[in-house]
Amino acid sequence: MPLLASSKARVGIVGGGFGGATLARYLVRQAGVSVTLIDPVSAFITCPFSNLVLTGAKTLSEITFSRRGLIRDGVEFIPLGVTGIDAARRELTLSDGSKDRFDFLVCAPGVEMNYESVAGADSAIASHGSGHISQRMPHAWKAGDQTQLLAAQLGAMRPGGTFLITAPPNPFRCPPGPYERAGLVAEWMTHHNPAGKVLIVDQKDSFTKMPLFLEGWRKRYGDRVEWIGLSQTGELREVIDGGKADKSGKRGIRTDFDEFRADVVNLIPPQRAPSVLRDAGLDEGRGWCPVHPDSFESRVASNVFIIGDAASAAPMPKSAFSANNQAKLVAAVIAARVNGQSAPTAWLVNTCYSLVASDYGISVSGTYRARDDMLIQTGGGQSPTGADEQVHQLEATYTHGWYESITRDSFGGAA
């Protein structure tokens, strides 16, 4: 029997990125369902391809997508924030003070930067009296103003300066992102600051597509890009904000064993699910929200689903492709429940393209399925090491094709 025989089931979606927007578009096509998407921003700026904005290869408008496609498809869009969630009642409190209840609730709000775990960040804020540390050491891990700020700092960097990237511990949004950024910044330096250097101080000893990135950096940039892993330098212990008391004026970081100063610091902090989910108890105090992998339904509340970066779904990475794929599964799960049908089988896929240079692409893919209430990887592959330039040029072309395809699928039209 259908879950709601007399009226349409109401589905509320918190967050309109790759996960939330894809879910809205696919679910609104189903009979017996009305879909409401709630997000405070009227246009979504994608993190994929934001590294190309950083180096001037693309503009911010080229990676910005309005809600027009969703509204045209029949999705109700509410441009407000969500300030509270009652998971048991599936009730949302919105930023205007209003409340709304749904038959199904899907949370796809992305990530929150966890500056509380970065020693010295609070004191750095206090020492300047106003302004967040991210205004001086941008993370640029949420595309938009942060991207433009980091781009301006890169453009103003002195000749021969150092661009420092702090790569956070797993898990975090877009695992290959810091390393793609390093390569594209190095490419920019080749033309605009030939004596410049990119330094990555990592809170890990390995990272996704590591042999491919190391090979690409070596082939294209020689020793311009330097990567230092956790075992070499230890954990990040303190942020150095370069205030008046610091004669060098340079910002940087201290680790267990070293101190690193740079002209530009791209401080990418550890991440976690946004506070609105954690305050609702959906993370069980773990930082990320646990889900049943066959449905992505919360382990805390029934008919509440969590997709995308906020979900604890290892070994599936936190990527745009993952969020898009998870959204399609949840759309099928909700449609089946509404119409009294059997639940679909959870087969999931992730594919991630990265650019070492504007004409040098690499990729990785994985397949996943639910088994014994766990998500397991069943297969995968990546670009071969030692491939000739033509292979990487083709992968760069495929990268652009992938972006056009996934943004059209998720948002319903061109930027």
Are 40 and 110 a contacting pair, CB within 8 Å? Answer: no
Name the token pair of 389: 């330039």
Decide if 290 contacts 281 (C-beta within 8 A): no
Q: What angle do CA 101, 102, 105 make, to 5 degrees?
A: 115
Q: How far apart are CA 287 and CA 348, in angstroms?
A: 23
Q: Which structure tokens are listed for 237?
A: 């212990």
Q: How far apart are CA 306 and CA 323, in angstroms?
A: 10
Give every CB contact of residue 302 below 8 A, 6+ residues apart in sequence: none
- Give DSSP secondary structure letters for 267-283: E---EE--HHHHHTTTT
Q: Is 242 helix (H, G, I), strand (E, B) or coil?
A: coil
Per-residue pLDDT, 248: 62
Q: Where are the beta strands (DSSP E) in 185-295?
A: 197-202, 225-228, 236-240, 251-255, 259-262, 264-267, 271-272, 289-292
Query: In this predicted structure, what is the pLDDT of residue 129?
Result: 45
**CB 280 within 8 Å of CB 289:** no
Which stretches in the chain have pLDDT values below 50? 126-130, 244-245
Residues 390 and 364: their CA atoms lie apart, in Å, by 18
Whether the Cβ atoms of residue 330 and residue 307 lie closer than 8 Å to each other:
yes
Residue 8 exposed, middle or buried by CB count within 10 Å (0-12, 13-18, 19+): middle
How far CA 14 is from CA of 63, 67, 86, 110, 161, in Å, comes to: 21, 14, 13, 10, 42
Please give the domain boundaries of the chain with CATH numbers for all domains.
9-110+273-411 (3.50.50.60), 115-270 (3.50.50.60)
State phi, psi for 90 to the nearest 5 degrees: 55, 45
With vertex at residue 222, the alpha carbon angle to CA 175 and CA 364, rounded to the nearest 5 degrees, is: 30
Task: For 170-201, give one letter per residue: b (16+ CB within 10 A) or e.
Answer: bbbbbbbbbbbbbbbbbbbbeeebeebbbbbb
What tokens does 311 get?
A: 């979900």
3-class DSSP state for residue 19? helix
- Whole-number Cα distances in Å, 415 to 60, 201, 227, 355: 10, 34, 35, 21
CB count in 10 Å sphere of residue 270: 20
> Residue with structure tokens 């941008």?
138
End-to-end CA distance of the chain: 41
- 15 contacts 108 by C-beta, under 8 angstroms: yes
For 269-288, the pLDDT digits (tens) are 999 999 999 999 999 999 99
- The two most distant CA atoms of the chain are separated, in Å, by 73
Query: CA angle 309-139-67, nearest 5°?
Result: 55
Say how far apart CA 188 and CA 126 lie, in whole Å: 34
Scanning the structure block, which residue is given the tokens 């990887």? 377
